[in-house]
């Protein structure tokens, strides 16, 4: 018995070590499991052979990805090109309405300040400028690094698509092979756990789409009411940074509001600050409920798992926290984890 347990533990450790080097295969396996229900429906409804059902499902999946990617890329490129045409005049306006007036005010007030205070302020400004310079250089380096990873990403994406086809074709055999190593009791437990995890995984994706769509609508309507140009591009940017908890909507709206305030556009600045508050409050209030509804856990468990996961592991914790709660609940239901005690 102990030899069997050692072998199982060793196998799990090896698999965990190989996962970071096999992400395209792992994603292909997850995608194949998600698409399996559609493949089975095609087989049952149209009496298709599995190979044809797999090919039809694969083509539908690729076409969907292509259309979504084309729409997003076209929107981004179109509005970035249009934005780049007005960037020089925009920078000139910022200089004339915000930077230059402050320079004049500084020259006027600096005559009445002690030399030490002036030196301290100038050093602070110099440090700020150096920090911005470092940030810009870092941004350029990140963009260059991103461009350099595109060929590698395309290769891995091709491997992902090829693996998806092969895994989809052989998924029933893979399932039967795994079942041959399991007892009937273990099969039942694995089926319950995998079913709940699959439901939660799909629910998590649905929850993210719902929250992102809600954020996009709020940003779009808010910017439209403020009569801001390039609404679609800016709304999409807000959605992207809102998904990343390290940044959030404040990374776009707050600096923008400060610049607008320094330019004398008080109504625009106030509107941007209000929009930031509305998006933040609505998302934080709705987020636990959306996650709980789609992932099958209580709103309190969703809120606690999201918060603790983020505090402990950052962005990854937002995924891992709820996943651990769902895994615990599934294992508890099949009797693998039991807490039967009273105090």
| 235-287 tens-digit pLDDT | 888 887 777 655 567 777 888 888 778 777 788 889 999 998 998 888 878 87
Q: How far apart are CA 317 and CA 200, in angstroms?
A: 16
Task: Look up tokens 């509001």; give the residue.
Answer: 257
Indicate whether 43 pLDDT > 80.
yes
Which has the closest alpha carbon to 207: 319, 125, 79, 66?
319
Q: How far apart are CA 189 and CA 91, in angstroms?
A: 62
Higher pLDDT, 181 or 36: 36
pLDDT of residue 121: 65
Q: How far apart are CA 334 and CA 326, in angstroms?
A: 13
Q: How far apart are CA 35 and CA 164, in angstroms?
A: 10
Summarize pLDDT for 156-178 with one digit per residue, the tens.
889 999 999 999 999 989 888 88
Q: How far apart are CA 83 and CA 77, in angstroms?
A: 10
- The predicted model scores a pTM of 0.63
Question: Residue 242 in 3-state DSSP?
Answer: helix
Higher pLDDT, 133 or 73: 73
Mean pLDDT of 118-135: 66
Indicate whether 90 pLDDT > 90.
no
Under DSSP, the state recorded for 1 is -
Task: Look up tokens 């491997």; give the residue.
Answer: 159
What φ, ψ does residue 155 adopt, rounded to 5°?
-65, -45
Indicate whether 329 pLDDT > 60.
yes
Which residues are within 8 A (CB) of 279 and not within 5 positions of it... i.e. 6 or more apart? 215, 218, 219, 222, 238, 242, 249, 253
């Amino acid at each position: 018995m102990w030899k069997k347990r050692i072998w199982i533990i060793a196998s799990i450790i090896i698999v965990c070590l190989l996962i970071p080097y096999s992400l395209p295969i792992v994603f292909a396996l997850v995608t194949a499991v998600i698409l399996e229900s559609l493949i089975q429906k095609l087989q049952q409804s149209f009496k298709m052979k599995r190979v044809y059902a797999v090919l039809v499902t694969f083509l539908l999946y690729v076409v969907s990805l292509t259309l979504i990617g084309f729409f997003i890329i076209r929107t981004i490129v179109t509005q970035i090109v249009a934005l780049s045409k007005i960037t020089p005049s925009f920078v000139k306006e910022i200089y004339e309405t915000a930077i230059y007036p402050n320079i004049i005010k500084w020259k006027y007030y600096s005559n009445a300040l002690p030399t030490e205070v002036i030196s301290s302020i100038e050093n602070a400004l110099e440090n700020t400028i150096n920090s911005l310079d470092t940030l810009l250089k870092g941004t350029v380096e990140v963009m260059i690094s991103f461009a350099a990873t595109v060929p590698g990403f395309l290769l891995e994406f091709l491997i992902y698509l090829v693996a998806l086809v092969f895994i989809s074709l052989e998924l029933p055999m893979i399932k039967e092979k795994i079942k041959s190593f399991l007892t009937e009791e273990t099969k039942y437990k694995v089926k319950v756990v995998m079913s709940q995890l699959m439901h939660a995984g799909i629910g998590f994706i649905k929850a993210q789409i719902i929250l992102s769509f809600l954020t996009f609508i709020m940003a779009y309507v808010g910017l439209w009411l403020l009569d801001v140009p390039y609404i679609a591009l800016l709304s999409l940017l807000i959605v992207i940074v809102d998904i990343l908890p390290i940044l959030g909507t404040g990374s776009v709206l707050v600096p923008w509001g400060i610049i607008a305030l320094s330019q004398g556009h008080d109504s625009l600045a106030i509107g941007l600050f209000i929009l930031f508050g509305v998006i933040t409050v609505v998302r934080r209030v709705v987020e636990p409920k959306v996650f709980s509804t789609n992932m099958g856990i209580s709103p309190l468990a969703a809120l606690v798992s999201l918060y603790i996961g983020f505090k402990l592991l950052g962005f990854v914790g937002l995924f891992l926290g709820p996943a651990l709660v769902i895994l615990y609940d599934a294992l508890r239901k099949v009797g693998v984890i039991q807490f039967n005690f009273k105090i």
